A = this chain, B = another copy of it.
Amino acid sequence: MPENPSRPSKQSLRFVRAREAQACAVMEDYVEMIGDLIAELGEARTADIAERMGVAHPTATKAIARLKREGLAVSRPYRGVFLTEEGEAMAHRVRARHRSVVELLVAVGVPRETAEIDAEGIEHHVSQQTLAAFDKYLAGKE
């Protein structure tokens, strides 16, 4: 069997990795957003989540269902959404990474507003090692 996607060749590894990262991206975004809303407003409602994510309500509802299924969030019907400990932890991690990515982009000369936009897509593909390098670089800058 010369072809076996479960044991990818050296060449294809980075594509497989990128796809894996992408699969987490949406969940990470929702978790972070729910964290933000709770911090700001005390609770995260479907409508607010949808509005800020730029999607229709039912899309947010589906995403929330998936978060619950994966143990990242909890909610009772027609009530606000809250994060589990695991969700909370992910939100913190994601928020910190987001900040580092934005700061690094700014540090190398990207306008802040552009950095904010691009970071939203970039952050999900920044590995531990790369994040560590970013933080070290930023620490070295002052």
- Mark A residues whose CB is within 8 Å of B: 3, 5, 8-9, 11-19, 21-22, 25, 29, 47, 50-57, 104-105, 108-111, 114-122, 124-127, 129-130, 133-134, 136-137
Contact = CB atoms under 8 A, between A and B. Distances in A.
A25 B108 CA distance: 24
State the copy count for this chain: 2
A55 to B, nearest CB: 6
21 contacts: A5-B56, A9-B52, A9-B54, A11-B54, A12-B54, A13-B117, A15-B54, A17-B117, A18-B120, A18-B121, A21-B121, A104-B108, A108-B137, A110-B129, A110-B133, A111-B133, A114-B133, A120-B125, A121-B124, A122-B122, A125-B125
